[in-house]
Structure formats: C-alpha cells, structure tokens
Amino acid sequence: MLAAKKDGRRARTTLLSWRNSEQGDTHMEKSKTLAVDIGGTGIKAALLDENGQMIGKRSRVPTPPKPVAPEVLTATIDEAVSALGGFDRASVGFPGAVREGRVLTAPNLGTEVLAGFDLQNELSKRWGKPVRVMNDADVQGFGAIKGKGVEFVLTLGTGAGTSLFYNGKILPHLELAHHPIKGDMTYDEYVGRAALEKIGKKKWNKRVERIIGVLRTVVNFDHLYIGGGNSKAVKFELPADVSLVSNMDGLLGGIALWRSEAPARRSSNGARGGAPKEARPTSRRGRAAKAMPQPKVAKAATPRQPRRRSPATAAAAAGGESSGDGHGRTLVASQPGTAPAFSVPFGACDCHVHVFGAAAEFPFAARRGYTPLPASADELLKLQRGLHLSRVVIVQPSVYGSDNACTLDGMRRLGDRARGVAVIDENTDREALDRMHRAGVRGIRINLETAGETDPDTARRNLIAALERVAPLGWHVQIYTRLSVIDRLAEDLSQAQAPIVIDHFGGAQAAAGTEQPGFSTLLSLVRDGNAYVKVSAAYRSSEKPPAYDDVAPLARALIEANPDRIVWGTDWPHPHAAEPGKGLKQPAPFYDIDDGLALNQLAEWAPDVAIRRKILVDNPARLYGFPPL
C-alpha cells in the first residue's frame, strides 16, 4: 500500500499564486511565461499565467535519442512549444549542469555534443524573448519548496537530480547524481530508470529508502521532496519530513526563475536572460526569506587575496571535485583569485594557454586522453585582464589532434594580442602552413608526454620531420616531454636549425631537486642558447598547492642559466587526463589553479625587474614575432 504523502496540484498552484501576490512583482503582472522541462524521455512545455497557474494543457514530445546535437535539441523544443501560443518570456529546466545558461554536462542527452552549448542565448535568439535556463532539478525545486529551512529536492527519472535550498534561496548546484553512492555506482546508476527496470520495484524502493537515509545524514534537511517521473514508483511509507511532489513542479517552478529584481545578462539579440540572481520565494509570513551567505565571485580587474582553502573545499566551491593528487578540480575554467603583487610590465605575455570549444562546433579527435569542458576566448581575455597581461600564446591541445580550428578561432577572437602554436601531420600541406602563418601561428608542438611516448628514437624522428617543415617559415618547434628524453636528444636539440622550446620545466619534478637526472642537460641547453624553457604549469612539477612554491629552485636555476631563454605561462585552463575508469564521454574537470599566485611566484624566482621584463616581454616578442611596443 502506498502510504506516501503527495502535495496536490491545486495546493501547489495556490501556493505559487499566494507567493506572487505577496511579493508584488510588477514584472509578473499579466505576463505569460513559457515553462519547458527537458527530460530524458520527453520534453514538456506549458504556459503559466502571472500567478504560476497553467494556461490550457501542456504539450509533450519525445526526447530524441542520445546523443542529442544542439540543433536537434532546439528543434525538438520548438516542436513542443509550437502549439501553445504566444508568451512573454521562457524558463527552461535542463537535465545537467548549467552555468549562466551554458551547458556544462548533459549525461542523459550527450555531454560530448552539448558541452559548451549556450542553450539560453540560442533559444532567446530563436524566439526573440528573454529566456532563463537552469538545471531541471533546481527548477522543480522552486515549484516544490515551501521556503522554510533547509529543503532538499530529489528527482527520480532517467537519472537522479538534486537541488538544495535554504529559506527559499537556491544554493550553488552540485551534480550529486554523479557521485558514488555504493562502490563505483553513482546515484544515477543506483536509482535511475535503468536500475528500476533491471532490478524491479521492490529492490529499487529499498535503494531509494537508503538514499533518503544518506541524504538525511549528509544534508540534515528539514524537508525532502521527491519528484520526477519515477517518483510514482515509490511504494514505501515515507517519514514525516519526506513527501512526494507532482512531476508538474518541473513546469510550475519555472515562474520562480523570474522572481528577480536584479537585471540578468543580456543575450545577443538584446533580450535579457541568465540565471536569476535573486530567485527567492517569500516565507509563509510574507517577508523575504533570509538567505544563507553565499560566496562572491571576484571581478577579474580586482582579484581577491588568496584564500587558504583545502583542495577539496576549493573544488566544492567551484562545483568540481578533489583528487588524491592534492589538486582541486573545477567544472568551470578558473579565474585568478589573487591580484598581481608586482607591477606587470606593458606587453607581458602568457606563453602557454589553451582554448576549448563546444564539441558540436569543434569535434574532438577520436584518439585522445580526455574530454575537456569548454574554456572560451572570452574567459581567456578575462584571465588576461585579471593578471594585467597584454599578450597570449594559444597552444594547440592534444584533444584536437592536427585540427587547429579551435585554436585559430580563439586567436581570431583575441586579435593582435594573440599568437599560436599548432599541431601538424603528414596531411598538412604548405598552403595550410601559410594560412596559419598569416593567422599568427609561429610554431608547432610535438606532444610526446600526453601520448605517453618516451622512446628517444621516435622522438628524434618526430623532431627531424618537424624541423624540416618549419624552418622555411621561421617558426620554432615546441616539445612537451620529460627529462630522460631531453637528455637523449641533447645533441639533436643543440644542432637544430630552428628555435627549440621546451614545455613546463622540461618535466622536472620539484621533489627531486636540481640534481635530478637530466636537469643538468636541460640547464646546458638553456645556458648555450640552444633551447627556450617555459617556466609554466608549476602544478605539473609539484604537489604542494596552492602556490607550488617548491619549484622555486628549479625556476631559479633555469633563469640563472640564461634569462634570455626563459618564458612564462599559466597553462590555463589547466586540463588533465581523464581519471582511470571514467572514459571519454564524461568530461574531465580542470585543475583549480590560482593563476594570480602563479604569476606572483615569478617575482620570487626573478626579483630583478629587468630580468622579469625579459621573461614576460622581450623573449616572447622575439620568439612569437609580436610587433615592437
């Protein structure tokens, strides 16, 4: 017998109506809100009046099979909406992580094709209306909660969704559904639709009951709401502080996304969109609910001072995770948390960054070590401004193979401040090289380390082939490898007919010190002017966050050897290989690195202003062909 309590639709719409009248939101008067709920099996849409009550009937169309390309998704949403009539604005619940309307993950639709897609802006352009897109569990939560205390929402559908509220104010979204709940089994796998169909209702209900106990311990909720299409399969007696809610809340909650006085970001067609900055229901007494203090995001122009957080705390605040290697993780490319502590000279250059676009626009290579999240040229420009830098070198990442389209697009968007380093293969002809030269490419990269290639003979063949291709263009060859390979290639590198650039301290490790095998060879190459070295990505040489200051002896030794052959870089957005067992369909979070701290370490390594200018301005200008200042 089903002994669960279920909130009725009449009670829910009455509550929404009461909240709106109490709040007195003039923006809501006589307006029609289109609410869209994107599910794993169906896309539902409905019109809501200013009180949050449904106008007419809802529509539903099947969700296309995974993976759902962006253009297919938007066309299917249009199909669901077409029969409903006119509206003034739209709210969309999306089954995955969303940041400012842009998709970060979409596990049940296809992250590999949707990551980076600006769904909010695209729908706003198509409809000519303001649109707000939010995680679907968050939207359903707005339709379910009472606005009192700690309220947690668990949605059970194709997967499992979660949202958390405090006194009616939504807290930063965590993709708890993809966290292990039993062994390596995630919430999605444990209680998603596939599990229900595989193990049957009886065992599935036991799992749901266990999850309630886990959430009670972890969250300490005042009330837990269970919604989603599979909530109807819950057949055990629920505690007094747990209740089932209508799946319609995924639509009715859409009205709350517009309960905001703060202006949202403007989309490209001029309509206003963006996640609500103050989407807060009022309390039962009609007063605005008191919100739990939220962390503020620092502006790039005035970065905050460093926060001494553990890697796990830093990652959680950024919406990411932590790993046993000591580095925090983040789902969004990091911005500097520390202001530059010295006067950064005009013309200063970050000589090592990457950009990553949406997979639908810039497909990844089939053979790759990880699947990155988006990191755009706009975000890179924000980083540049935060660090007071004037120039940047975008390096082709391994995930695109020899297809340099994303790197070239990033360079084009940043204009004259950007140069590039490409990856080529035997199919790259001279005409393509000339086009890249005109676009600002000034070198090619041989990435042996990411490919796990440590054979010196293979490295030598790659080096010789690369030198033959770039010498007529006046380009350099950039090598990412380890000290043992550099040691074996020393003679070839010293006789190269084009400049040689070695990535990331040559792979030297801080813990091994300056006497580690191969480091003296690297110093000799630098001292004799036969190679440049990037003192970049200190976190790849150290396991001592957040400053990674134990690399200082390595950096000082290289700079002392020859400051005319040293350049500096961040390695933003700090990508890394997929975690073991994760596969390529799940995006690998970035390392959460404070690049402000990284820049300030340079002042410790090179306290002399003239030497810092060589490293930041003069050497990059010579190597990458930047025009005179």
End-to-end CA distance of the chain: 79
pLDDT in tens, 498-528: 999 999 999 999 999 999 999 999 999 999 9
User: What pLDDT score was predicted for residue 275?
Assistant: 41
- Whether the CB-CB separation of 247 and 111 falls below 8 Å is answered with no
Residue 529 CA: distances (Å) to CA of 244, 317, 464, 501: 71, 44, 19, 11
pLDDT in tens, 228-258: 889 999 999 999 999 998 867 667 777 877 8
- C-alpha 585/C-alpha 180 separation (Å) is 17
pLDDT in tens, 314-335: 333 334 444 556 788 888 899 9
Residue 199 CA: distances (Å) to CA of 154, 158, 417: 20, 15, 58
Higher-scoring residue by pLDDT: 554, 369: 554
User: What pLDDT score was predicted for residue 323?
Assistant: 52
- Where exactly does CATH 3.30.420.40 map onto the chain? 9-258
User: What pLDDT score was predicted for residue 324?
Assistant: 55
User: What pLDDT score was predicted for residue 170?
Assistant: 87
The residue assigned the tokens 């990284």 is 598
- C-alpha 18/C-alpha 6 separation (Å) is 20
Q: What CATH superfamily classification does 327-624 receive?
A: Metal-dependent hydrolases (3.20.20.140)
- C-alpha 599/C-alpha 616 separation (Å) is 10
Give the residue from 65, 138, 97 showing the smallest Cα distance to 587: 97
The token duo for 157 is 């559908």
Beta bridge partners of residue 244, listed in sequence order: 6, 226
Query: In the annotation, is 571 catalytic?
Result: yes
Q: What is the pTM of this model?
A: 0.63
User: What pLDDT score was predicted for residue 53?
Assistant: 84
- C-alpha 516/C-alpha 369 separation (Å) is 28
pLDDT in tens, 531-581: 999 999 999 999 999 999 999 999 999 999 999 999 999 999 999 887 776
- C-alpha 118/C-alpha 277 separation (Å) is 18
| Domain 9-258 class, CATH top level | alpha beta
- C-alpha 46/C-alpha 49 separation (Å) is 10
pLDDT in tens, 115-153: 888 999 999 999 999 999 998 888 888 888 888 999 999
Burial class (CB in 10 A: 0-12, 13-18, 19+), 306: middle
For residue 468, pLDDT beyond 70: yes
pLDDT band at 452 (very low <50, low <70, confident <90, very high): low
Give the residue from 538, 547, 600 showing the smallest Cα distance to 388: 600
The token duo for 82 is 């077409």
Q: What percent of the chain has pLDDT over 90?
A: 59
Instruction: Look at the alpha carbons of 576, 579, 581, 587 in this order and tell me if their dihedral is positive or negative.
Output: negative
Name residues whose C-beta falls within 8 Å of residue 11's C-beta, 6 or more positions apart in sequence.
Answer: none
Higher-scoring residue by pLDDT: 327, 393: 393
Beta bridge partners of residue 223, listed in sequence order: 151
User: What pLDDT score was predicted for residue 314?
Assistant: 38
Name residues whose C-beta falls within 8 Å of residue 7's C-beta, 6 or more positions apart in sequence.
Answer: 144, 243, 244, 245, 246
Mean pLDDT along residues 48-56: 86
Burial class (CB in 10 A: 0-12, 13-18, 19+), 83: exposed
The answer for 557, left when phi > 0, alpha when psi is -120 to 50, beta otherwise, is alpha
Q: Provide the CA 562 distance to its chain's centre, in angstroms.
A: 37
- Where exactly does CATH 3.20.20.140 map onto the chain? 327-624
What is the Rg, in whole angstroms, of the alpha carbon atoms belonging to the chain? 27
For residue 15, pLDDT beyond 60: no
Helix 595-605 to helix 377-386 angle (10° resolution) is 50
Residue 161 CA: distances (Å) to CA of 76, 154, 188, 357: 22, 6, 8, 26
Give the residue from 78, 88, 287, 291 showing the smallest Cα distance to 171: 291
What amino acid occupies position 609? V
Question: SS3 for 608?
Answer: coil
- C-alpha 585/C-alpha 138 separation (Å) is 24
User: What pLDDT score was predicted for residue 597?
Assistant: 96
- C-alpha 99/C-alpha 332 separation (Å) is 9
Q: What is the mean pLDDT of the chain?
A: 84
pLDDT in tens, 593-623: 999 999 999 999 999 999 999 999 999 999 9
User: What pLDDT score was predicted for residue 325?
Assistant: 65
Query: Which member of 571, 592, 595, 618 is catalytic?
Result: 571
Other C-beta atoms lying within 10 Å of the C-beta of residue 529: 12
- C-alpha 262/C-alpha 258 separation (Å) is 10
pLDDT band at 106 (very low <50, low <70, confident <90, very high): confident
User: What pLDDT score was predicted for residue 30?
Assistant: 67
Mean pLDDT along residues 465-475: 92
